[in-house]
Amino acid sequence: MTGVTSAFSLALSQLRDPAILRVLLKSVLITLAIFAAVGAALWYGLYHNLVAQGVGYSAELGALLAIIVTIVGGWLLFRIVALAVIQFFADEIVVAVERKHYPQHLGLARKLGFAEELANSGKSAGRVLLVNAAALLVAIPLFFTAIGPAIVFWIANSWLLGRELQDIIWLRHRASPDDPSPLGAAQRLAVGGIVTALLAIPVVNLLAPVLGTASAAHLVHAKLHRNERHG
């Protein structure tokens, strides 16, 4: 856990780096733009179906229900959208971290093409939906325990995030697809758990994907450095 804490401290200290700030600005603007478009379409669709189709709701009640569902849906989908967006800027984060902390690894990362980035984002979104659907089945019987469902979804999304954040870095540095994962299960769960918690906090959740990616970069590079020393 000490390594994870150190990685997050290093990532936080580099938020003032112009290269990281540029990625942060671009990712936040694109994420918010996607949310605005999806939110507007969702709100209009719900309002139209609740009121215009004559299902018994007044204009005021229909608008209120549409707003509530849109906000809840947006909060649930934020993680998927934010991490899908950050996939496309991961190279810039990796280079910024390497330039400052791991110059010996600078330029060694394999640049992923647009098609591979898109495929990785699609796989990530698919895993999120499948694992959360499975978590929902486990959480439903725990509904009346109050905290049970929250714990189930936190564990599920922590596992997912740890895997995704590791892969964002590892896919660029592994020698072959058969190379084993550089981080242990406990490290991935710890990184994912911290970022999952940050994603639940308004405003802070805009920083979470960048912090998580930079932290994963530190952990993966530390592992690579240890392997080089013992190799």
Residue ranges per structural domain of the chain: 2-230
DSSP 10-42: HHHHTTTSHHHHHHHHHHHHHHHHHHHHHHHHH
- H or E segment to which residue 43 belongs: helix 18-47
pLDDT digits (tens, 9 = 90+) for 32-56: 888 777 767 766 766 666 555 555 5
Q: Is the pTM of the predicted complex or chain greater than 0.85? A: no
d(CA 150, CA 177): 35
Q: How much is the pLDDT for 77? A: 67
Q: Which tokens is 169 given? A: 């870095």
* Low-confidence spans in the chain with pLDDT less than 50: none
In this prediction, residue 175 carries a pLDDT of 67
pLDDT number for residue 11: 92
How many alpha carbons lie under 13 Å from residue 122 in its C-beta half-sphere?
A: 6
Q: Using CB atoms within 10 A of its CB, is residue 65 exposed (0-12), middle (13-18) or buried (19+)?
A: middle
Q: Which residues contact 167 (CB under 8 A, 6 or more apart)?
A: 120
Q: How far is CA 90 from CA 45, 95, 128, 170, in A?
A: 34, 9, 19, 11
